[in-house]
Amino acid sequence: MHKSEIIRYYFHLSIERSSLIRASRVAVLVGIILILINNPEILSGNFSDLNQGSIVMSFLVPFLVSTYSSILSHNKIKPGKISPIDGVLKCNNCKKANFHIQIGQEAGECPQCKTDTRWKITRIFNASPSQNDMIKSLALFARHNPQPLFRIDADGLIIASNPASNLLLENENPSNENITILLPELKQFDFNQIIENEEEKKIVISIKGEFFNLMLKGVSALKTVHIYGNDITQIVLAEQKIKSQAHEINESIQYAWLIQKAMLPHSKLFDTIFPSHFIFYRPLNIVSGDFYWVNNVEHLKILAVADSTGHGVPGAFMSMIGISILNEIILREKIYEPDKILNSLRERIIFSLSSGNKSNDVSDGMDIALIVINTNDNTLSFSGAYNPLYILRNGELIIIKADHMPVGKFINDHLSFNLTKTNIKSNDRLFLFTDGFKDQWGGEKGKKYSSIAFQKLIIELGKSPFDKQLNIMSTVFDTWKSDNEQLDDVLVVGIEI
């Protein structure tokens, strides 16, 4: 450490006008208090016993202590402050990072611990003895900076600018010109307020197709605003490209939804087969991995509700594969038994996703609930892969369980799905659904809705007219989810016999 520079720097701090004024005020105030405490007889007008040496020390000691305090307070440089020295700083927080700073350069956060530390001065090569020298050093620093730099006064007049700024404005000497005329975006700022409060303001501007992030920093000691320009053209252009690509992707997904929607059963077909029904359908990402399938073959009414692996575009592809295969199995090959339908669906999905190379095979599939209603004898046949069937009858909930295996590649994919048959009665309400509703996080405690809560909701729905159930279910879901993100596609289909 250069002792002579350190001594000069601290001496300069001690004789600064602001330091002297503060030390004098403290000395007068504290000195008077000390004299009165040590010589209470003064209050009665007796000055004969006063010791001149004691009086001098009463004023001198607080003056020196205040001066020393001023020096200590300037021994560290806060982030955002303009450096009055050319030297080496050490992070006062992590004690590791060393930072070389020049006169006129602004101190920043510690690159090591990422905190707004107070930089401790460990070495001084040169110090600014006066404000003029600091301004000169600041101008030198600005000249060698490759990014645009301005210094303006409270009225917005340019005091100084570096070559990068002149090149940007195509003006060799913009001094004394108003910055708000050259850069109209800056009219929104009160420069005087920025200087007085040493505020920092940021704004992004565009000049001749280039983009700059400008930071305005008030420096009350110099009565100026320093404007630092950072070229972010490449970043902005990259963001614009990403936004354009996102827009194109979103348009593609919207069109994919139209295709997927066209493959779902038409509302008129659903109305014909099940006149009393509702469909609560909430895709997570426009297109959905959840889908439903319905058709009528002679005296049989067939309904399936499925949850494909994944959601969004991958899930939508799986759903369209599932719809196509169900059309082939049921409508073309005339297989109507639910267990046989699921066995065949599983076999064809595995085959469709097989590449011939086991290491590259896709293990996706779907969970599904499938019912076949025989209108001749009012019997219902059911098979399910993970997804059960709920029957609400006279306020009682009947649960027909599904097999614990998916329609897809599985350790026991050679086993047949089970078939359950039961009688149905008039006014029975049947519910087929995916797991999106019961798995949704929400409520006051941020928990899953749960299967038990969903069962209670179904029972409560039974107390309301069937045509009101869609609105009730929608309201319950939205209230539960509240501000939480939707986690999965949601599909609930209800029918009334």
pLDDT in tens, 235-251: 888 888 888 888 887 88
Residues 299, 346, single domain; the answer is yes
- pLDDT winner (highest mean) among 7-21, 50-64, 128-142, 191-205: 191-205
pLDDT given at position 492 = 96
Tell whether the model's pLDDT for residue 267 goes beyond 80. yes
Number of residues in the chain: 497
Of 76, 96, 127, the last residue of a domain is: 127
Tell me, yes or no, whether 60 lies in a domain.
yes
Residues 270, 213, single domain; the answer is no
Counting the structural domains of the chain, the total is 3
Phi, psi of 404 (to 5 degrees): -90, 65
In contact, 131 and 221? CB cutoff 8 Å: yes
Residues 465, 360, single domain; the answer is yes
pLDDT given at position 346 = 92
Tell me, yes or no, whether 243 lies in a domain.
no
Write out the DSSP string of 347-409.
Answer: HHHHHHT--S-GGG----EEEEEEEEEETTTTEEEEEEES--EEEEETTEEEEEPPBSS-EES
16 compared with 217, residue with greater pLDDT = 217
Tell me, yes or no, whether 393 lies in a domain.
yes
Instruction: Give the CATH number for residue 186.
Output: 3.30.450.20
Residue type, 72: L
Tell me, yes or no, whether 136 lies in a domain.
no
Per-residue pLDDT band for 390 (boundaries 50, 70, 90) equals very high
72 compared with 285, residue with greater pLDDT = 285
pLDDT given at position 6 = 61
Q: List CB contacts of 214: < 8 A, sequence separation 6 or more.
A: 183, 186, 202, 203, 204, 205, 227, 228, 229, 230
Per-residue pLDDT band for 282 (boundaries 50, 70, 90) equals very high
Lowest mean pLDDT among 33-47, 119-133, 218-232, 435-449: 119-133
Tell me, yes or no, whether 450 lies in a domain.
yes
pLDDT given at position 226 = 85
Q: List CB contacts of 477: < 8 A, sequence separation 6 or more.
A: 280, 282, 437, 440, 490
pLDDT digits (tens, 9 = 90+) for 54-85: 767 777 777 777 777 766 666 666 776 766 66
pLDDT given at position 33 = 75
pLDDT given at position 173 = 77
Tell whether the model's pLDDT for residue 148 goes beyond 80. no
pLDDT given at position 57 = 75
Tell me, yes or no, whether 392 lies in a domain.
yes
Mean pLDDT of the residues in the chain: 81
Residues 324, 452, single domain; the answer is yes
Tell me, yes or no, whether 181 lies in a domain.
yes
Q: In what order do the strands lie in the sheet with 389-393?
A: 277-282, 490-496, 429-433, 389-393, 396-400
Beta bridge pairs of residue 150 = 161, 227
Tell whether the model's pLDDT for residue 144 goes beyond 70. no
Domain, as residue range, for 30:
3-127
The residue ranges of DSSP E strands in 447-489, in sequence order, are 447-448
Tell me, yes or no, whether 356 lies in a domain.
yes
Tell whether the model's pLDDT for residue 473 goes beyond 80. yes
Phi, psi of 386 (to 5 degrees): 70, -35
Q: List CB contacts of 272: < 8 A, sequence separation 6 or more.
A: 296
Cα–Cα nearest to 105, from 219, 250, 238, 17: 219
Per-residue pLDDT band for 379 (boundaries 50, 70, 90) equals very high
pLDDT given at position 66 = 72
pLDDT given at position 419 = 96
Cα–Cα nearest to 151, from 226, 213, 222, 218: 226
pLDDT given at position 363 = 61
Residues 305, 454, single domain; the answer is yes
**Share above pLDDT 90 across residues of the chain, in percent, rounded to a whole number:** 35
In contact, 226 and 212? CB cutoff 8 Å: no
